Amino acid sequence: MMNIEVIEQKCISYLSQAANPLVPISTLLRHLNDDEACRGVRERELIDFLRKHELFRVVDPPDSHGDPEIAGELSSHGIDTGPRVILVTRIPTASEMSALISGQLKKMTSSLARAQAEAAESGDAEAYQKLTEILNRADDLEKKIADCGL
């Protein structure tokens, strides 16, 4: 049984001090399960609780065009593709959001470019081509974000 008050306080405390205000649910869940008073909280329960709470906003991941390979590739490079949560009081302004998205895209494209170089070095033409396609989509995404004025 979840102790709602303890979980609420632990979430507020963690999310208010996190360097990046948009925290992967998986990270918050690990933090909660490290605490004896919160151990055993399941992801679905946590997400349901956060969605209903006025102090939190859950941000679902963008659809990766239904391609599980893209999510797997991002995950293999340390990019969590799951839902995230933010305290309402830490929701960034448009310019802050632009900087955050830009930083994430740079991290992602850097990892993908390294993987592409490794594929080229090893002569894996199929992997190289897939990574080229993903990098092109990331570039298109970056242009669309810039066009939106974020």
Span 52-63, average pLDDT: 89
Q: Where are the domains of the chain?
A: 1-91, 92-150
CA distance 116 to 15: 35
Note the pTM of the prediction, 2 decimals: 0.58
Q: pLDDT band for position 48 (50/70/90)?
A: very high
**CATH code, residues 1-91:** 1.10.10
Pick the more confident residue, 17 or 74. 17
CA distance 54 to 22: 16
Percentage of residues in the chain with pLDDT exceeding 90? 58
Q: Is the pLDDT of residue 42 over 90?
A: yes
